[in-house]
A = this chain, B = another copy of it.
Amino acid sequence: MTKDCLFCRIVSGEEAANAVWADANYLSIMDKFPINVGHQLVLPKVHYNFLTDMTDNEVAELFGRVSMLAKVTMKALRPDGLAVGQNNGVAANQQIFHVHVHIIPRFEGDVGEGSWPRRKTMTDGELNRIAENIRREIR
């Protein structure tokens, strides 16, 4: 646990987040600056800077959770598509240096190839309502 890591502080409960789901080793939260409605981050509770710092088995476990949450997000929000992304390093636009996987619902015409919609500003209330919609589909 790293004091100056936002995601470690969220894991420890020191910092608030719009949580969707958690188990013993992983959790998912709503991205505070979503690319689209339903944009979630899935992360290991243990701090790793980069995906390549995790063992192959840990990465497999992490993406098993991403898979579950991707299915649930498709059911809850019925987007036209869904992107999964994970960035490592400043050169890849990583902004928080604690491994996280983006689950991003996509909608027809939201943007062309090679770029993303602008990030949106959403209130905690809005983010929590979306989290609740997603959570409802988790069995």
Chain copies in complex: 2
Tell whether, in the assembled complex, residue B82 and residue A84 are in contact, meaning their CB atoms are under 8 Å apart: no
Given contacts A63-B59, A115-B116, contact A51 B91 (CB under 8 A): no
Tell whether, in the assembled complex, residue B82 and residue A92 are in contact, meaning their CB atoms are under 8 Å apart: yes
Tell whether, in the assembled complex, residue A56 and residue B81 are in contact, meaning their CB atoms are under 8 Å apart: no
Segment 64-121 of A: residues with Cβ below 8 Å from B: 64-68, 70-71, 74, 79-94, 104, 106-110, 113-116, 118
The number of residues on chain A lying at the interface, defined by a beta carbon within 8 Å of a beta carbon of chain B, is 47
Q: Nearest chain-B residue to A79 (Cβ)?
A: B91
In angstroms, Cα B99 to Cα A70, docked, is 14
Q: Sample 22 A-B pairs with CB under 8 A, ordered by A number.
A: A50-B82, A51-B70, A51-B82, A59-B67, A60-B61, A60-B63, A62-B63, A81-B88, A81-B90, A81-B91, A81-B92, A82-B89, A83-B85, A84-B84, A84-B86, A84-B88, A85-B85, A85-B86, A89-B106, A91-B108, A115-B115, A115-B116
The residues of A with any CB-CB pair to B shorter than 8 Å are 50-52, 54-57, 59-68, 70-71, 74, 79-94, 104, 106-110, 113-116, 118
